[in-house]
Structure 1
Amino acid sequence: MASSNQSALKHVSNAREHLYEELQNLPLIIEKLHQQDVLNSYEVSLLEAEPEKYNKTSKILTWVMNKGEEACYQFLKILDFERKSVLPKLQSSMQAGKPHAWISQFSFRDEPEDDYIHGPTSCHELQNFLKTNAKIFLDQQWKQSTHFFGGTAQEKFTYIPLVLDTDTEKNKSLNKITLKSNKSKKPRSKKLRSYIPQDTYKKSPKDLLDSQEKSILLVGKPGIGKTSVVRQMLYLWIERHDKKHDFMFYFDKNILSNISNISNLENLLLDTFLMSNAHLREKTGEITQYPQEHSENVTLIFDGISDFHDSRILQRVMQHDILPEAKIVITCRPETEDDEFFDWPTCKVYVQGFSEESIYDYFTQMPDQDPELVNSVVNNPALFSLCHVPMYASMVSACFSHCTSEGAHKQCTATELYIRIIAFRGMEIRN
């Protein structure tokens, strides 16, 4: 911000009469003035006890101006940073000009902005709460998905790169008959490897999370890795340590099955996630308002949804009628991607499973098993090809983790693999 000798006190004084009507979200202004030591605790308590908006605004302006130049400067700084929340929409105007233009006319000092905490404290509490619960959720899901390894798998959520293809035309118009005819001329081992996708686009969950796309549809067959992609997005958000004040709401199938009767945004975002937090539930009005006003900082993930027909609130979210700038990510199967309710994405991504490199990574990084297991899979073209689908890779790895060293070396077909899995499952149930 440019340096200036412009008087903050004079700038506030000149607009005082208009600010009586224009200032909004007074609790946020009071909270920020308290954080900046412009108002003390006693003054804050007096303001909170004042029922009339006009009188409360008058006291704020009077006390700030009486405290002098620096207090007025901090007040203007708060209005600048929080203008979207504390100033009216652009169509409302002040006599001397629109309030957004008025605050922009003041030249602030050159100073770092990293020490300023945007938004109300309750929203930061909400962000921390969501991250804590998301981490617990990922850890629980990871343990559940790896319990077949007998405790040998890594304890923390691990993402193995998946092939994410954005070539919609190729995926929609692929001629499977022609493909089969071409493959018939190849040796069987090459035919099998041709099913393994090549990562030509090099897209990652981080790219999707950081992109400017507002409507992303992830398409893929069962077990191909759609859930792994969106959970990696959730994990990356949890691990962010910058001061960006953003929110991510992750809806899996269990949550989605219970929201058909939800009719408003507050119930959708907060009642779903804050049932166990009475402190934040008392502030639902405040912490619902901020995401709506700053919807560009909101990401909603609907993992496994197949039908919007019965939920008006989900339709409105998907169509950006509410939270217009939010990033919406939805996973679906190929048979439902042409549903009229999915005819909305600005970006469609096809999840195609593991590349050859990722298959190697999976068997070397995921479970802590005998290294010879990798050779057993690599040297078995049928199994190696099958493992481009993460669900099957997990089945192969879990099955082999219970094999003796001699058993792991035995060649087996996919059918024999299934028989082994069923046999081991039967033994587990009997034990």
Structure 2
Amino acid sequence: MEEQGHSEMEIIPSESHPHIQLLKSNRELLVTRIRNTQCLVDNLLKNDYFSTEDAEIVCACPTQPDKVRKILDLVQSKGEEISEFFLYLLQQLTDAYVDLKPWLLEIGFSPSLLIQSKVVVNTDPVSRYTQQLRHHLGRDSKFMLCYAQKEELLLEEIYMDTIMELVSFSNENLGSLDSLACLLDHTTGILNEQGETIFVLGDAGVGKSMLLQRLQSLWATGRLDAGVKFFFHFRCRMFSCFRESDRLCLQDLLFKHYCYPEQDPEEVFAFLLRFPHVALFTFDGLDELHSDLDLSRVPDSSCPWEPAHPLVLLANLLSGKLLKGASKLLTARTGIEVPRQFLRKKVLLRGFSPSHLRAYARKMFPERALQDYLLSQLEANPNLCSLCSVPLFCWIIFRCFQHFRAALEGSPQLPNCMMTLTDVFLLVTEVHLNRMQPSSLVQRNTRSPVETLRAGRDTLCSLGQVAHRGMERSLFVFTQEEVQASGLQEGDMQLGFLRVLPELGPGGDQQSYEFFHLTLQAFFTAFFLVLDDRVGTRELLRFFQEWMPPGGTAAASCYPPFLPFQCLRGSSPSREDLFKNKDHFQFTNLFLCGLLSKAKQKLLRHLVPAAALRRKRKALWAHLFSSLRGYLKSLPRVQVESFNQVQAMPTFIWMLRCIYETQSQKVGQLAARGICANYLKLTYCNACSADCSALSFVLHHFRKRLALDLDNNNLNDYGVRELRPCFSRLTVIRQHVLQKIGAIKMTSGARNLYNNQITDVGARYVTKILDECKGLTHLKLGKNKITSEGGKCLALAVKNSKSISDVGMWGNQVGDEGAKAFAEALRDHPSLTALSLASNGVSTEGGKSLARALQQNTSLEILWLTQNELDDEVAESLAEMLKVNRTLKHLWLIQNQITAKGTAQLADALQNNTGITEICLNGNLIKPEEAKVYEDEKRIICF
């Protein structure tokens, strides 16, 4: 009837008639559609259009329509301005007068500037409740409880978006989501048009709860433009707190158990039922429901006023039987399934990408120097870096870094190292154990690490038992029976260390489990070996023996079980990596060393008898010492000048890692005594920069001369920085002992750092080594990431060195600027005999600078400029140089852009130069027929 009356009513535009006439002509429409009169009276009073008596007259009317009629009568009697202001109120207070929005658009009402300057106060219950919710969520989402529930930090300071992927029902990638606003977009990634729930899943610590908190914060501050007027947030675990007999209607669940409206709750609820699409519900942690709830079998409950158990309300909200059209966002850990008919879209959180990690470092550490240092440490340690893909682990690792920085407050030096891996995993364990403790609004968690681990000892033992049994069989997926047999309780599964696999178990009808990260299984295995009193020495050292291949037991019986048989044979040409697919054993050994270190005794003595700890520590230290010594003795030796060289395998690197993890100076001293060679060749050992810390830790105690070769590893600037004290010490020893050889090319030191990840920053550290090592003769930094800036630093150091004879820079990018710097360095250099700038992006200007410098050089014999961009102009300059220079013997110009013209100029220069033995021009722009001219000149090599 209302719609029909409205359609038959003539609409009188405000442009052609006064506002009073407009109110009179549409009187019945206004009486019918206006339900909130208090908001109108409040604003008319505030702007002095109504007196107190007028308000009392309106309030005295018995019914709502009578109140509207009285307001209209008073407004029309007071003139044109108040009538215009009345229409302005209807237009501005959209929540209160939502039914009049089409009519206001139809009449094209546009207020004057005078009316727009008036103050409008929104006292509508719906708007007031929206403001109340914004305040409620803004307060609750401002701070994030972090770091084992011991401190609160601003969400804005620590939140970072993660990788969000739209996935299919079977978790196949359908594309990425760029922002949280896209998460609520109903046009992308839709799997089921009839579905009501957006399902966000991901592993523990990947940021699901923080994502919801960020959504709350955005909405509370008006930055989430999704048409949402109501935002209700629930933790799923709260639904387990209700008794089985509890019954609630939907209104009580929303208002009594979340946020109660300050006025007119019935009107607010009625608005929500009329416009459910303006509401957003978030339910965090479906996996935390301590219930055997099957969402697909919950009784239907579509009546919002009918009482039901809260779990029934939850299921019917997610299915859309209650408040159909409202947006619902549900989170759960990977492996939790939701009925497909509930799902509208499915989103998988992947954690941090490398770019996210860099952005997060910038957010957490505004100082550029700290950012760079932290990122270089993470790049140096792939194990830590891989953990940082999980936001929670990343947060913990960053806090470890802050801890070291705070410990060195006031020191001009940056922290020397990160915590050990064991430190990080102990902190991860503490954080997860504390997260499962009941939290209080008034009492913060104050438990010490000792109290936390002691309270969770049984859980840790059960997890360790699962991990250890799997490790013994190289098993990483566990059946439900295997998990239950360890004594793990349902609550222990909520810690997040074990996750449910999405696939069915081996039997086809059971869930399977795996540890969240391979290193976690290794950590809990080591924890079990330390905690369990029944573990003897043989079992304690069991996983060190895994490094020996099958069938090697008898042949290697005279050596410690640490040793791989392949290395003992020595004569085998194959470089089989005995560590392939055995990372789990390596990390177990690593964590065992960390847990049995002296620094952890204060913590572990509350969990393990002191006598058992002493026994296990003593056995481990003896084993490390005898293994390292026996391993180095077993390696074949090659005599290099006065050095006794051994080629170590990756086994040695892992030994160093284990020794470093102990952080024991005594163990370091024992290990240094076990080094029985004076030339360690560690090429192709897959060493990362963090291993340089371990190497330096041991060599700090080494008092004999030692050469070191680290070609073809994965070192970056951080690694070079960590090695610098070691190089400096060895150089001094060399100067005293090997004056004639001059630090044998410093064979290790700064010479052999070929094929790593050294950048300009690392190059600066190398220049310091050059300055300090006065006897250094060879510097090999090929195939790194050094640009013109690093090249210029190195060239200056080479210029100032009186002993350097061989500089290899192949495969960098020093360019013309770097080439000019090296030209200046070799101009009058007394000792430099070989220089390689091959594959460095050198073009015309750089090449001409080198040629001019060589006119004054009397020491250089070899110059490699292969794979650059040298042309005929450079060839002409080199030809002029050859007319003067009588020292250069080998000039390699392979794969440049020299043509027959440049070749002819070089050939002519040879007529007056008998010192040069070869000019290699292979791969230039010379045709075969053009090269035939030089067949008789054997020193010109074109093909």
Give the TM-score taking structure 1 as reference length: 0.70
Note the alpha carbon deviations across 1:179-224, whole angstroms, 9 max, x for none. xxxxxxxxxxxxxxxxxxxx97351223335766874221212221
Alignment of 1:361-400 (within 5 A): 361-366=359-364, 372-400=373-401
Question: Which of the residues 344, 348, 351 maps onto 1:350?
Answer: 348
1:9 counterpart = 2:20:
yes
After TM superposition, list the pairs within 5 Å mapping 1:130-169 onto structure 2: 130-140=133-143, 142=144, 144-146=145-147, 157-168=157-168
Offset of residue 302 of structure 1: 1.4
Residue of 178, 181, 194 corresponding to 1:203: 178
| 1:207 counterpart letter in structure 2 | C
Aligned to 2:257: 272
- Matched position secondary structure for 1:251: strand
Deviation at 1:78, TM superposition (A): 4.1
Cα deviation, 1:320-377, whole Å, max 9, x if unaligned, reads: 455444332221233233x22x633333221111111112333443368965443332
After TM superposition, the structure 1 = structure 2 runs for residues 327-342 of structure 1, keeping only pairs within 5 Å, are: 327-337=327-337, 339-340=338-339
SS class of match (1:218): strand
Q: Is the 8 A contact 1:216 1:346 kept in 2?
A: yes
2:425 corresponds to which of 418, 421, 424: 418
Q: Give the Å deviation of 1:262.
A: 6.0
Partner of 1:194: none
Alpha-carbon distance in structure 1 between the residues aligned to 2:50 and 2:43: 9
Distance in 1 (CA, whole Å) between partners of 2:374 and 2:312 is 50
Q: Pick the aligned partner of 1:26 from 37, 44, 47.
A: 37
Give, in angstroms, the shift of residue 233 of structure 1.
Answer: 1.1
Deviation at 1:393, TM superposition (A): 1.8
Does residue 226 of the first structure (1) align with residue 208 of the second (2)?
Answer: yes
Decide which structure has the larger Cα Rg and report it. Answer: 2
CA contact (8 A) 2:277 2:325 kept: yes
| Cα pair distance change 1:200/1:257, threshold 3 Å | same
Give yes or no for contact 1:209–1:233 (8 Å, CA) kept in 2: no
Distance (Å, rounded) in 1 between the aligned partners of 2:135 and 2:267: 21
Partner residue in 2 for 1:317:
317
Query: Which range is displaced more, 326-335 or 222-231?
Result: 326-335
Task: Quote the offset at 1:86 in angstroms.
Answer: 4.6
Aligned to 1:249: 232
Q: In the alignment, residue 181 of structure 2 is paired with which amino acid?
A: K
Query: Partner amino acid for 1:56?
Result: K
Q: Is the CA contact (8 Å cut-off) linking 2:126 and 2:268 kept in structure 1?
A: yes
The answer as to whether partners of 1:159 and 1:232 remain within 8 angstroms in 2 is yes
For residues 10-159 of structure 1, the aligned pairs below 5 Å read: 10-17=21-28, 19-21=30-32, 23-31=34-42, 33-34=44-45, 37-79=48-90, 86=97, 105-109=106-110, 120-140=123-143, 142=144, 144-146=145-147, 157-159=157-159
Determine the C-alpha separation between the residues in 2 that align with 1:305 and 1:380: 35
The letter for the 1-side match of 2:381 is: N
| d(CA) in 1 for partners of 2:112, 2:184 | 30
Amino acid aligned to 1:329:
L
**1:297 aligned to 2:281?**
no
How far apart are 1:85 and its partner, in Å? Answer: 5.0
Give the deviation of 1:146 after TM superposition: 3.5
- Match of 2:158, SS? coil
Which residue in the other structure is 1:190 paired with? none
Q: Deviations over 1:141-182 (max 9, x none)?
A: x2x31468989x76855211200111426x6258xxxxxxxx
Q: Which secondary structure does the structure 1 equivalent of 2:346 belong to?
A: strand
Secondary structure of 2:176's match?
A: coil
Question: Which residue is 2:269 aligned to?
Answer: 288
What is residue 408 of structure 1 aligned with on the other side?
418
Deviation at 1:231, TM superposition (A): 1.3
SS, match of residue 223 in structure 1: coil
CA pair 394-268 structure 1, distance change in 2 beyond 3 A: same
Instruction: Judge which range, 317-326 or 47-56, deviates more.
Output: 317-326
Number of residue pairs the alignment of both structures matches:
383
- Give the Cα separation in 1 of the matches to 2:403 and 2:451: 11
Helix, strand or coil for the counterpart of 1:352?
Answer: strand
2-structure distance, mates of 1:115, 1:290? 27
* Cα-to-partner distance string for 1:129-149 (whole Å, 9 max, x where unaligned): 333332332344x2x314689
Q: Equivalents in 1 of 2:319, 2:281: separation in Å?
A: 13
Deviation at 1:247, TM superposition (A): 3.2
CA contact (8 A) 1:215 1:347 kept: yes
Work out whether residues 262 and 268 of structure 1, in 8 Å CA contact, stay in contact via their aligned partners in 2: no
- Indicate conservation of the 8 Å contact 2:357/2:389, yes or no: yes
**Paired residue type of 1:172:** N
Task: Tell me the distance in 2 between the aligned counterparts of 1:249 and 1:264.
Answer: 16
Which has the larger displacement, 256-265 or 222-231? Answer: 256-265
Q: Quote the RMSD (CA, aligned, Å).
A: 4.3
More helix per residue: 1 or 2?
1
- On the 8 A contact 1:256/1:305 being kept in 2, the answer is no
Structure 1 residue 313 displacement after superposition: 2.9
Q: Distance in 2 between matches of 1:321 and 1:118?
A: 36
Q: Secondary structure at the match of 1:132?
A: helix
Deviations 1:289-316 (A, max 9, x none): 4444444433221111355545333344
Structure 1 Cα separation of the partners of residues 395 and 388 of structure 2: 8
In the alignment, which residue of structure 2 is the partner of 1:240? Answer: 222
| TM-score, length basis structure 2 | 0.35
Q: In 1, are the aligned partners of 2:155 and 2:214 still within 8 Å (CA)?
A: no
Offset, 1:399: 4.3
Q: Measured at CA, do residues 80 and 318 of structure 1 come closer, stay the same or move farther in structure 2, by a change above 3 Å?
A: farther
The verdict on how the C-alpha distance between 1:288 and 1:116 changes in structure 2, with shifts beyond 3 A counting, is farther
Partner of 2:662: none
- Relative distance call for 1:274 and 1:149 in structure 2 (3 A) is closer
Contact 2:36-2:97 at 8 Å conserved across structures: yes
Counterpart amino acid of 1:426? Answer: V
Inter-partner Cα distance in structure 1 for 2:374 and 2:360: 11
Deviation at 1:15, TM superposition (A): 3.6
Higher relative contact order (CA 8 A, sep 6+): 1
**How far off is 1:388 after superposition?**
0.9
Whether the aligned pair in 1 keeps the contact of 2:122 and 2:128 (CA below 8 Å) is: no
What secondary structure does 1:227 align onto?
Answer: helix
Matched residues in 2 for 1:160 and 1:62: separation? 57
The 2-side partners of 1:235 and 1:87 are apart by 26
Question: Would the alpha carbon gap of residues 326 and 110 (structure 1) be closer, same or farther in structure 2, given more than 3 Å must change?
Answer: same
Task: String of CA shifts for 1:20-41, please: whole Å, max 9, x gaps.
Answer: 4554333344445545654334
Quote the Cα distance in structure 2 between the aligned partners of 1:120 and 1:359: 46
Q: Given the superposition, is the C-alpha separation of residues 330 and 60 from structure 1 closer, same or farther in structure 2, using an over 3 Å criterion? A: same
Deviates more, 1:220-229 or 1:244-253: 244-253
> In structure 2, do the counterparts of structure 1 residues 416 and 84 end up closer, same or farther at CA, with 3 Å as the change threshold?
closer
Q: CA deviation at 1:227?
A: 1.4
The Cα shift of 1:48 comes to 2.6
Report the counterpart of residue 186 of structure 1 in structure 2: none
1:366–1:7 Cα change, 3 Å: same
In structure 1, runs of 5+ residues without a counterpart are 89-98, 175-198
Greater CA deviation, 107-116 or 293-302? Answer: 107-116
Alignment partner of 2:352: what SS?
coil
